[in-house]
Amino acid sequence: MRDLMIVSERPAAGRIAVVSPFDGRELEKVATSNIAHVEDALDTAYALFRDRNEWLTVPERIAILARTAEIMQSQVEDLTLLAASEGGKPYNDSRVEVIRAIDGVKLCAEALRNDTGKVIPLGTTIATMGRIGFTEKEPIGVVVAVSAFNHPLNLIVHQVGPAVASGCPVIVKPAGDTPLSCLRFVEILREAGLPEGWAQAIITEDTATAENLVTDRRVAFFSFIGSSKVGWMLRSKLAPGTRCALEHGGVAPVILAEPCDDEKALASIAKGGFYHAGQVCVSVQRVFAPAKTAKRFAKQLAALAKELKVGAPEEPDTEVGPLIRHDEVERVASWVDEAVAAGAKLMCGGKKISESCYAPTVLFNPPADAKVSTLEVFGPVVCVYAYENLDDAVAQANSLPVAFQSAVFCDDISTATSLAKRLDASAVMINDHSAFRDDVMPFAGLRESGLGVGGIPYTFEDMQIDKLLVIKT
């Protein structure tokens, strides 16, 4: 049983079993927190922040992060199997996640090494003559992070790592389905020398406890990754002065424009659509192809989808793993059935393989108002739509209240960049799928898809303030 990762003498509120999403076997029991534990965690974090004598120096933070990366590097295999078993992402993809997480920790240290204030150009007016102005960086205060299940280690690194780098005490609540990678990361931080109290993990069983944590007046910065419904609700209840960053979902559009190398596009779109069984906020979901080639493209994509090996995430040859919960399989199945009943052509898949796995599915021309066309599927489903002209394709791509990353495939760079400029998106991949991401990139949902900018350098910046010093000479 994994103990509470908060500074508290109180006994655990309860125990929850963490189970494999693939076969339901129990992986571990973890202790849960109640409102009293939340209060203890906030008291500890806020006291550390208010006592400037307790602040960690820049060299101390750099050393802790460097040692954290070293420990993680020595445990790549264990961390990979842990993430795969609790989250269901296949072994090879989970290993990539772990390597990214290690690099993310290094990026946190790198950001800290390059962190500087700026000189303010005083002396340009009569009123400011004889003064020197410059800014220094300071931690913003207590950070509370609420995370998602789909990248159980790397998302935690993205939220907790910058807090450690910036000198902020952080309290993190991982997804209830995938707490083990988070707990292990906090343990590694402590092994690396982070003093007790600077990073605390809390597992909750009820929304009231989580809400009390997030909305407390002592919280200076709130980092959220999850559903838009929950994210916007929590933002509306934040204490005055609490800053936040929200990362929600999208219904990622991809436009194929002539001239286009369909073979290259096919492999990329298959990866972007079926990676982690489509459980990524920027997974390829809507593909718009020229009418004369759209059905052929859908058939070819279906042929690739049929070849994907679906199975246990710990197996090295598995390409598509389970959905996170059985009820998610049922939901995806009902959405696909609804689309087919309304006229979508089922090119492949469209069935449950087991209670935990759904077959990679390609739909051709689902109705514009179908759930698979308007809502984030978060499952292994890619929809292909035929368009008559590019204006129509752009209009359809931009038609939803969500906007995140998107993609354009076209061998004519002028056409490709023109389309990219017209798409309502925070990022457009050209000749690559919409789910591409590197941890130095800005990562931002627009409209209902989020608020603020993710990516380690940007989160690090958000967790600091610029303190202005003016010296009269």
Which residues are bridge partners to 256 per DSSP?
A: 409
How many other CB atoms are found less than 10 A from the CB of residue 279?
24
Both tokens assigned to 238? 């934040």
Catalytic residue among 97, 110, 247, 376: 247
Structure tokens at 386: 């035929």
Cα end-to-end distance, the chain, whole Å? 61
Active site residue 247: yes
| Residue 49: how many other CB atoms lie within 10 Å | 21
Q: In whole angstroms, give the CA distance from residue 435 to residue 303.
A: 21
Q: How many C-beta atoms lie closer than 10 Å to residue 452's C-beta? A: 18
Q: Are 313 and 322 in contact (CB under 8 A)?
A: yes
**Among the residues of 221-261, which ranges form H helices?**
228-236
Name the token pair of 317: 């040859």
Question: Which of 108, 182, 244, 281 is labelled catalytic?
Answer: 281
Asked if 452 and 444 count as a contact pair (C-beta separation under 8 A), the reply is yes
Beta pairing class for 131-139 and 170-173: unpaired
Nearest to 349 by CA among 376, 323, 381: 381
CA 16 to chain centre: 24
Please name the residues in contact with 208: beta carbons below 8 A apart, sequence gap of 6 or more. Answer: 35
182 catalytic per annotation: no
> What DSSP line would sit under 56-105, residue for residue?
PPHHHHHHHHHHHHHHHHTTHHHHHHHHHHHH---HHHHHHHHHHHHHHH
Active-site annotation, residues: 247, 281
